Amino acid sequence: MKSANWLVLVLAVILLEFLSWRTEALFTPTDNYLIVCGSSQNVTFQGRTFVPDLLLSSLSLKSESTSYVATSNSSVPSSLYQSARIFSGVASYKFNIKQEGRHWIRLYFYPFPKSGHDLLSAPITVVADDFVLLNNFTFENYNGSFLFEYAINVTSATLMLTFIPWNNSVSFVNAIEVVSIPDAVLPDQALALNSSAPVSSLSESALETVYRLNMGGPLITAQNDTLGRTWENDSKYLHVSSSAVNLSVNPASIKYTDSITQETAPNRVYATAVAMGDANVPSMNSKVTWVFPVDSNFRYLVRAHFCDILSQSLNAMVFNLYINDDIAVPSLDLSTLTGKLNLPYYKDFISKSSAESGTLTVSIGPDSAVDITNATLNGLEIMKISNDAGSLDGLSSAANLLPKSLSKKNRIPVIIGSLVGAVAAVALIGFCCCCMPILKSKVTNHGHPMLPLRLYGNFRTMTKISATSQKSGRASCISLASSNLGRFFTFREILNATNKFDETLLLGVGGFGRVYKGALEDGTKVAVKRGNHRSEQGLAEFQTEIEMLSKLRHRHLVSLIGYSDERSEMILVYEYMANGPLRSHLYGTNLPSLSWKQRLEICIGAARGLHYLHTSAARSIIHRDVKTTNILLDENFIAKVADFGLSKTGPELDQTHVSTAVKGSFGYLDPEYFRRQQLTEKSDVYSFGVVLMEVLCSRPALSPGLPREQVNIAEWAMSWQKKGMLEQIMDSNLVGKVNPASLKKYGETAEKCLAEHGIDRPSMGDILWNLEYALQLEETSSALMEPEDNSMNHIPTIQFTSLEPFDNSVSLINVGNSGIDDDGKDSATSSAFSQLVNPSGR
Ligand SMILES: *[C@@H]1O[C@H](CO)[C@@H](O)[C@H](O)[C@H]1NC(C)=O
Ligand SMILES: *[C@@H]1O[C@H](CO)[C@@H](O)[C@H](O)[C@H]1NC(C)=O
Ligand SMILES: *[C@@H]1O[C@H](CO)[C@@H](O)[C@H](O)[C@H]1NC(C)=O
Ligand SMILES: *[C@@H]1O[C@H](CO)[C@@H](O)[C@H](O)[C@H]1NC(C)=O
Ligand SMILES: *[C@@H]1O[C@H](CO)[C@@H](O)[C@H](O)[C@H]1NC(C)=O
Ligand SMILES: *[C@@H]1O[C@H](CO)[C@@H](O)[C@H](O)[C@H]1NC(C)=O
Ligand SMILES: *[C@@H]1O[C@H](CO)[C@@H](O)[C@H](O)[C@H]1NC(C)=O
Ligand SMILES: *[C@@H]1O[C@H](CO)[C@@H](O)[C@H](O)[C@H]1NC(C)=O
Ligand SMILES: *[C@@H]1O[C@H](CO)[C@@H](O)[C@H](O)[C@H]1NC(C)=O
Ligand SMILES: *[C@@H]1O[C@H](CO)[C@@H](O)[C@H](O)[C@H]1NC(C)=O
Ligand SMILES: *[C@@H]1O[C@H](CO)[C@@H](O)[C@H](O)[C@H]1NC(C)=O
Ligand SMILES: *[C@@H]1O[C@H](CO)[C@@H](O)[C@H](O)[C@H]1NC(C)=O
């Protein structure tokens, strides 16, 4: 008998242990967006990691006109506030929501000075789905950083958070959170103080946290709350004449239950409290009172948290809770309600401010019916409830504030419109697939992909990038945290350098605008790219390019010298590439033909540049428009990859890397990318394969004038390569001057690049190795057989000594670490070379 009792007891203890362990399990929110706006890197704030806004695939930003980023200096309170996204037109963040239900929306603001805009007086209007969160709010009368917290019930798969600037002004935000809330945390109904009937359907309202206090205790920040809430200490609101004492116990002694967990409030909230002070004040009126300024036009959800950490035994305390002048709970007896000491309890009410005063007061005080004269309060939350217009700020509804195109009524036509668009796009792609080899012209993009665009600069250049198209779906920005953009040029300097954009100095025209040859005052020759403001595609490419180039420095990438953004111009200054694009040395001009060795060296250089793009940055960078006009040659015929206008970082972060528009140039386009719109480094590899064939055959990637089977160089050359007869179609200038083994290696390499499926294509590192090997075969053979002068066709000014990095026949092993690559990261090459030297290693 006794042992059975023991067993029951032991089981009960185990069960209790289990229960208490279970209630301490952490809540993991299904939706958990912590984003820092405009930043280019993760920011850790209060123990949590905020991710840059445009790096998340499940989040998109659509803005009516340009949005951009401003960054303050390090005097801001936290790095979370160091960048802001500024909107000069209506802009919406669209969050994909995995689980419907209540979500926190937290908005962080820091109207930092010197931002080029008066953020302090910028009226902020924010709409979340159908709720107005902020309406014409300014920070003018406030100081410091701001956190606004809202709870709204999201009932669809997306949440639209829209920022609406007023005329001629801007709106901004520094960081945003959208995080799931457990269903049990916020009530659907609560008792209204003026009537005994509960007010229901709170879940259909939006709530804004206006006060959340940890009575008698310290500030609790987001990292110490499983739901990321902030609990202020109460001393600011304590009515001065109140006599109050602080209480605290060990937080571990707080006993949670099934219905009251740490999601209700952290144990540190319950472990401290304020109680009535000593009875040196007249006992009956010695209420402890907190006073809160509130907007008298709104109702508030008031939640009072209790936990008896004061009493030594049960039933030792009975008191009243007052809200305004009403007794909210008479004779509150925690012992009866909880059955235990240190066991939390809370109660919700709905109230307004006390008549006309614009304040809401909460008090605890003794119950006159009993002669126990102490009272306690542990925590308090006051949340504003949205009004009938669905607003938490003013009387305008979301529909009134949103531009017509964004309000719900107009959504259906938009959806139909985009459906039609999608069908048209599919049809277009189908058409292109059938006719691709015949198509002559370059197809421009039809969609408006949300490219993650960031620019770098510094304070003096914090100017708005003018948006030219109102309908632009693009957002652009300047993030000024790291100013590695190189030299800043005044517009006057640019005018001087280009002789006022003299058309005789025009080097080329691209999607972004025009490129001029120029000379700086010190005589340095430069290429000046002048942004074409009429082209929104150009604008975006331009910004991508600044960002890419400013981060990337490599011997085989065209380097950025500086930029100018005065007078709303966007001008980039590059090193001048004396010998222009590779293509002009292959065909279509009268330039002397390149030797095989030169061609190999150029291909190797370009491959190195691409290899660096694919591997050196934290995330791989995909060029997306590899072609012979984007490989430029300097005065020493060193190849450098140019035009990052279509660059996009690789798929590491962005798992569902489906780009919304096929970009690139026909003839070079990876067929797999074209079909599946899935972008990988292997798309560049394919295009590079086309370049290799073009270099070998000296003909364009697409030659529509030729017989059908010859139009597309990739198909045409592949058919000959498969027959092992590539020499049949190669440049006639090369016939008889190429070592067959070298050509064989080259042909095999190009063939692998042009493989149908990305996974079958080699990496740029492998290609580099193979091309180096082809060069090696060429050089050793020509050394063996008393060669004809390979430089016969060279332009006389070429000095081979300056090709030293490639002239590696002497000391192969050193190539990898001879400082060719500024970053010293070319380990693939050096290991490749050791394999080359020791063939058994491969
Ligand atoms: C940024 O944070 C996200 C989420 O925590 C993480 O997945 C990512 O690896 C971080 N990126 C960097 C560069 O630290
Ligand atoms: C940083 O900003 C503060 C004002 O926000 C200003 O007082 C200070 O001079 C700035 N520092 C620098 C280095 O610009
Ligand atoms: C916005 O607020 C400013 C004062 O802060 C006021 O002058 C202006 O009339 C308000 N605009 C609207 C449309 O409410
Ligand atoms: C803002 O803070 C600064 C110093 O931190 C202070 O001098 C200024 O008076 C404050 N302004 C307001 C409106 O509180
Ligand atoms: C904004 O501009 C529109 C028309 O351009 C005007 O009707 C409206 O009053 C303006 N609003 C403000 C707040 O200036
Ligand atoms: C209670 O207050 C609400 C608004 O707060 C009001 O709509 C309702 O009519 C009031 N009920 C009574 C009985 O006064
Ligand atoms: C959210 O709203 C829906 C529909 O009004 C309701 O069924 C659901 O219970 C609400 N969720 C919460 C957590 O209140
Ligand atoms: C109670 O604690 C608050 C904050 O923890 C503190 O500001 C206040 O001075 C304390 N009051 C007393 C009477 O100790
Ligand atoms: C409570 O906040 C006040 C200012 O509001 C601060 O002076 C005090 O130190 C805080 N107390 C604790 C314990 O953090
Ligand atoms: C908050 O949590 C951190 C670690 O998560 C801890 O080091 C710190 O002491 C906690 N702060 C408080 C006030 O509990
Ligand atoms: C309430 O309890 C606290 C803590 O035990 C004590 O300091 C205070 O004097 C009590 N107040 C009254 C009125 O008894
Ligand atoms: C540029 O300015 C320098 C003097 O600063 C002048 O000598 C030169 O002729 C100018 N060049 C052009 C193209 O105007």
**Annotated active-site residue in 565, 625, 684, 826:** 625
The pLDDT value recorded for residue 834 is: 30
Name the closest-CA residue to atom 1, ligand 12. 496
Name the closest-CA residue to atom 10, ligand 12. 496
Which of 348, 370, 385 terminates a domain? The answer is 385
Is 817 part of any domain? no
pLDDT tens, residue by residue, 478-529: 322 233 445 777 888 899 899 988 888 888 876 567 889 999 888 889 999 8
**What average pLDDT does the segment 442-461 reach?**
22
Same domain? For 690 and 589 the reply is yes
Same domain? For 323 and 364 the reply is yes
Following DSSP, what letter does each residue of 45-112 receive, concatenated? ETTEEEEEGGG-TTEEEEESS-EEEEE--TTSSSGGGSEEEEESS-EEEEEE-SS-EEEEEEEEE---
Is 609 part of any domain? yes
591: domain CATH number is: 1.10.510.10
What separation in Å is there between the alpha carbon of 299 and the centre of ligand 6? Answer: 10
Pocket lining: 359 vs ligand 12, CB cutoff 6 Å = no
pLDDT tens, residue by residue, 307-328: 999 999 888 889 999 999 888 9
Give yes or no: 625 in active site.
Answer: yes
Is 305 part of any domain? yes
Is 443 part of any domain? no
How big is the CA angle at 713 (ends 707 and 714), to the nearest 5 degrees? Answer: 125
Which of 385, 400, 421 terminates a domain? The answer is 385
State which ligand 10 atom lies nearest to the alpha carbon of 218.
Answer: 13
The boundaries of the domain holding residue 523 are 467-575
**What average pLDDT does the segment 45-64 reach?**
81
Same domain? For 273 and 288 the reply is yes
pLDDT tens, residue by residue, 66-125: 556 666 666 777 888 888 888 888 888 989 999 999 999 999 998 876 556 678 888 999
340: domain CATH number is: 2.60.120.430
State yes or no: pLDDT of 802 exceeds 60.
Answer: no
Same domain? For 529 and 381 the reply is no
Is 9 part of any domain? no
Residue 234 dihedral angles phi and psi, to the nearest 5°: -90, -5
Name the closest-CA residue to atom 10, ligand 10. 224
Is 12 part of any domain? no
Q: Are 505 and 526 in contact (CB under 8 A)?
A: no
Same domain? For 130 and 202 the reply is no
479: domain CATH number is: 3.30.200.20
| Total count of domains within the chain | 4
Same domain? For 563 and 598 the reply is no
**What average pLDDT does the segment 816-828 reach?**
33
The pLDDT value recorded for residue 438 is: 32
Pocket lining: 268 vs ligand 10, CB cutoff 6 Å = yes
Q: Are 388 and 398 in contact (CB under 8 A)?
A: no
Write out the two tokens for 628. Answer: 């012979």
Is 475 part of any domain? yes
Same domain? For 712 and 591 the reply is yes
In this structure, the number of other CB atoms found within 10 A of the CB of residue 658 comes to 13
Same domain? For 538 and 608 the reply is no
What ligand has the least distance to the C-alpha of 217? 8
Question: Among the listed ranges 219-223, 568-572, 743-747, which one has the minimum average pLDDT value?
Answer: 568-572
State which ligand 8 atom lies nearest to the alpha carbon of 246.
Answer: 1
What predicted TM-score, i.e. pTM, was given to this entire model? 0.56
Same domain? For 173 and 38 the reply is yes
The pLDDT value recorded for residue 613 is: 86
Which of 575, 608, 634 terminates a domain? The answer is 575
Same domain? For 170 and 136 the reply is yes
Question: Among the listed ranges 246-255, 426-435, 607-616, 751-760, which one has the minimum average pLDDT value?
Answer: 426-435
Same domain? For 670 and 625 the reply is yes
Same domain? For 736 and 627 the reply is yes
CA 229 – CA 398 distance, rounded (Å): 26
Q: Which residues contact 253 (CB under 8 A, 6 or more apart)?
A: 271, 309, 342
Is 501 part of any domain? yes
State yes or no: pLDDT of 792 exceeds 50.
Answer: no
Cα dihedral 321, 323, 324, 327, rounded to 10, equals -50
pLDDT tens, residue by residue, 336-365: 889 889 999 999 999 988 877 788 999 998
Q: Are 122 and 165 in contact (CB under 8 A)?
A: yes
Q: Which residues contact 514 (CB under 8 A, 6 or more apart)?
A: 501, 506, 508, 529, 530, 532
